[in-house]
Amino acid sequence: MKSAKELLSTSKDHGEWIPLLEVSAKEVFELMLGTKLDTAEDITPNGLDIAAMVGLAGQLCGILTIRASKESASRMAFKMLGAETDKNSQEVYDAFGEICNMVAGNFKNKVSGLGDGCMLSVPTVITGNDYSVRSLAGSPPLELQLLFESLPMLISLEVS
Amino acid sequence: MSDIRALIIDDSSVMRKIVERSLRQAGVNLTQVLEAGNGAEALGVLQDSKVDLILCDINMPVMDGLEFVKQLAGVENGKGVPVVMITTEGSETHVVQALSAGARGYIRKPFTPDQVKEHVIPVLAGKP
């Protein structure tokens, strides 16, 4: 496993991190939701009306974002809690934010040497489609296209 | 496992429920579950209540889990109560900091009920 320092210095686009990000997400969904994620292609942000964001600061600065539909987020909350929740309830937002937090934490723990030098923010959850995010990231985001119970989901990591 | 009163500290109410469910699945007979959204709130809860076990997140607003563990010894109802950290912060430094501050166990998120059992049962049995 390469250290964070090696990865940060040898690559500007950080493409090597995509497999780590994918494993991190799949582990969270398998362990906490009992669901396997499938990889997908050609997913567009259309209809993905809920987003959770966790900031990373320190040796690695950036934002990890998960986007899905409220229907997906509601199903995720159901899987986590074992009980139905209204798709606009606080519990759905809480569960979705916590999933993002765990994916971010799991990812940074998989990059050797990064755990100590990188802090996570508490999650932020945004609903709706009519917004833009302008980050100061120095490179294009790493993006993962996944299916949760056949529903589309996007995970992106923007590194400053 | 004999009757246990637990305090679960996490800023996510969903995680608090998951931790409670995992404890029950681990065979812990919970007679009372108290909850707090951060360390400061938890210290307030302990002013009025005694518990046998504390499960605590690290990253929380207002007062984080490490600061909570440090201050726990100064609270009458907190003395000697075992604390198990449950957190996404999985680095060796965080583990060392938590254990040095007085935590008795450490579980990384994401976790399975079996991992909760593996870490909590020995702590309740008084094993290091």
Domains of chain B: 4-124 (3.40.50.2300)
Count Cβ atoms below 10 Å from residue B46 Cβ, excluding itself.
Answer: 23
Are A105 and B90 in contact (CB < 8 Å)?
A: yes
How far apart (Å, rounded) are the C-alpha atoms in residues A34 and A26?
10
Confidence of residue B127 (pLDDT cuts 50, 70, 90): low
For B109, nearest residue in chain A (alpha carbons): A102
CATH topology for A4-38+46-134 is Chemotaxis protein chec (3.40.1550)
Q: Supply the pTM of this predicted model.
A: 0.89
Beta partners for B34? B7
Residues in chain A: 160
Amino acid (one-letter) located at A59: Q
Tens digits of per-residue pLDDT, A73-98?
999 999 999 887 777 789 999 999 99
Respond yes or no on whether the N-terminal peptide bond of residue A152 is cis (omega within 30° of 0). Answer: no
Report ipTM (2 d.p.). 0.86
Lowest mean pLDDT across A30-44, A63-77, A106-120: A106-120
Cα within 13 Å of Cα(A43), Cβ side: 23
Count of beta carbons in the 10 Å neighbourhood of residue B122: 14
Q: How far is CA B19 from the centre of its chain?
A: 9
The nearest CA of chain A is from the CA of B110 a distance in Å of 6
Bridge partners for A51 per DSSP: A67, A126
Please state the three-class secondary structure of A11-69 as a single string.
CCCCCCHHHHHHHHHHHHHHHHHCCCCEECCCCCCCCCCEEEEEEEEECCCEEEEEEEC
A96-105 tens-digit pLDDT: 999 999 999 9
Q: H helices within chain B, ranges in order?
A: 13-25, 39-48, 65-72, 92-101, 113-124
Asked whether the beta carbons of B53 and B120 are under 8 A apart, the reply is yes
Res. A115 pLDDT band, cuts 50 70 90: low
8 Å CB contact of A109 and B91: yes
Q: Which of residues 103-122 of A touch B (CB under 8 A)?
A: 104-106, 109, 115-116, 120, 122
